[in-house]
Amino acid sequence: MAALKEGQVAPKFRLSAHPEGKVALEDYKGKQHVVLFFYSKGNTPGCTNEAVSFQALLEDFERAGAAVLGISPDDLAAHAKFAEKRGLSFPLLSDSGAKVASKYGVWKERSMYGRTYMGIERTTFVIDPDGRICRIYPKVKIAGHAQAVLEFVQSLKP
């Protein structure tokens, strides 16, 4: 699948989520921006730092008219433990089988300690209320990332 580009319509999804039940991109259409961040696994150091950073700024995202959604291949039980342990109140979506991650082009061959495997490349998408991708943050470095995304979202308000 070709890489997604800014300005393209974001691939639709409907996934099980903690604590909402089911969450679809369509739920936000015409209402607000969506900050969709893909992470590999809850309660790992990098993913924890990223999620906690978004949580710390959640009220600012909401004031700026954006919903924050985290998405990983973790199951709902793992999402529930992650949310409870880290105090996360935004939806965590379960992408079992990495179908949505594949549609978004973030399910990639990875390598660690000489071993190759398929996994998430940490990426954040900002999707506008019309369902178009307005910003892509590939290969995210965690330090300062949530703040940079917030500043971008705040710049979109009229």
21 burial level (CB within 10 Å; 0-12, 13-18, 19+): exposed
47 catalytically annotated: yes
CA nearest to 127, candidates 19, 2, 29: 29
149 close to 156: Cβ distance less than 8 angstroms: no
Candidates 47, 98, 106, 149; catalytic one: 47
Q: How far apart are the first and last CA of the chain?
A: 34
Please identify every residue annotated as catalytic: 47
